Amino acid sequence: AEVTHDYQSTLDTVARQLAEIVGDSCTVRLVSDDGAWLELAASYHPDPEAAVFMRTVLAGEKYQRTDEGLTGRAVQTGQPILIPTITSEQLKATIDPKLWAILDRFTISSVLIAPLRTSGRVIGAIAMSRKQPGRPYTEDDLALLQDLANRAALAIGNARLYQDVKAELERRRQAEAWLRESEARFHSTLDTMLE
């Protein structure tokens, strides 16, 4: 596994590695800070042209309520979802119509979704899809994805914590610089007044 402290790199690496291990495409959605939304954090498709297409379509997906769709259900219940066989029409019934372009371009035949759990709470979900023709996902695939999702959640949580600590250190550095500058101005003014 690759080691990085950069938050977005961690998310992108998680999506890519899960797609390579479990198969086909992967999207990572995280619960927003206020808990009301699922936000797209990363996506991966092994075909570079398809990856660009997915990113373009998914970029239009601003938010999805956590109680909507299959991914929202996995986040709300904390339970993984396995759908060994599904049609585009069945999938369209579960997702925002803005995303139907993906289903029109790719014939998805099997879906896996695993919640991302860390510190006893669900922070998001990973959705995997396998296109047709392809072997349907199995219970073994679901167990593997959930194990990997638990590890990914830890990596994401650590990267998020590192990002927060780095931001706090930068805020403190800026505050200290401002304080030193203010103190220097004060001493300069005081020296001028005492001359």
Max CA pair span of the chain: 87
Beta-carbon contacts of residue 79 (< 8 Å; ≥ 6 apart)? 115
| pLDDT, average across residues 112-136 | 85
Dump pLDDT digits (tens) for 49-78.
Answer: 888 887 777 775 656 666 678 888 888 899
Host H or E run for residue 114 = strand 108-118
Predicted TM-score (pTM) of the model is 0.71
Is it the case that residue 4 has pLDDT exceeding 60? Answer: no
